[in-house]
Amino acid sequence: MLKLIQNEWMKLWHKKGTWAMVALVILFIIGPGIMMKYYETKTTEDTTWQETEKQAINDYKEIMKSDDLAAEDKTLYEEKIAISEYRLANDLPSQKDGSVASFMSFTGGMLTLVTLFTVIVAASIVSSEFSTGTIKMLLTRPVSRAKVLTSKLLTTFIFGLFLFVVNVVVSALVGLILFGATTGVELEMVSGQVVEKAVWNDLAYHYLLSGGDFVMSILFAFLVGSVFRSSSLAIGLTMFLSFTGGMIVMFLSRYDIVKYIWLTHSDLTQYENGHFIVGGMTMPFSLTILAIYALIFLVISYMSFMKRDVTA
21 belongs to a structural domain? yes
Alpha-carbon distance of 247 to 43, in angstroms, equals 37
Q: Please give the tally of structural domains in the chain.
A: 1
Residue 12 lies in a domain: yes
Q: Could you report the per-residue pLDDT of 271-307, keeping only the tens digit for each?
A: 876 677 777 788 899 999 999 999 999 999 888 888 7
Provide the pLDDT for residue 46: 61
Q: For the purposes of burial, counting CB atoms within 10 Å of the CB of 138, is it exposed (0-12), middle (13-18) or buried (19 or more)?
A: middle
Cβ(164)–Cβ(52) below 8 Å: no
User: Does residue 312 lie within any of the structural domains?
Assistant: no
Measure Cα distances from 266 to 168, 196, 197, 254 in Å.
22, 30, 26, 19
Task: Tell whether 53 is covered by a domain.
Answer: yes
3-state secondary structure at position 144: coil
- Answer yes or no: are the C-beta atoms of 267 and 287 closer than 8 Å: no
pLDDT at 312: 45
Q: Which residues contact 191 (CB under 8 A, 6 or more apart)?
A: none
Give the C-alpha separation, 212 to 234, whole Å.
Answer: 19
User: Residue 102: how many CB atoms within 10 A of its CB?
Assistant: 22
Distance in angstroms (rounded) separating the CA atoms of residues 216 and 293 = 8
199: in domain? yes
User: What range defines the domain where residue 36 resides?
Assistant: 2-307
Q: What is the pLDDT of residue 97?
A: 52
List of the chain residues with pLDDT < 50:
312
**Which three-class secondary structure state does DSSP give residue 282?**
coil
Look at residue 19 and tell me if it is in a domain: yes
pLDDT of residue 136: 66
* Beta carbons of 153 and 12 less than 8 angstroms apart: no
Determine the residue type at 219. Answer: L
Task: Please report whether residue 212 resides in a domain.
Answer: yes
5: nearest Cα among 165, 221, 149 = 149
CA-only gyration radius of the chain, Å: 24
Separation in Å, CA 226 to CA 128, 235, 301, 306 = 10, 12, 6, 10
Are the C-beta atoms of residues 196 and 205 closer than 8 Å to each other? no
Q: Alpha-carbon distance 288 to 202, whole Å? A: 23
Per-residue pLDDT of 162-185, as tens digits, reads: 999 999 999 989 888 887 766 667
Look at residue 16 and tell me if it is in a domain. yes
Q: DSSP string of 28-57? A: HHHHHHHHHHHHHHHHHHH--HHHHHHHHH
> Which residue type, as a one-letter code, is found at position 158?
I
What burial class does residue 119 get, using C-beta atoms within 10 Å of its C-beta: 0-12 exposed, 13-18 middle, 19+ buried?
Answer: buried
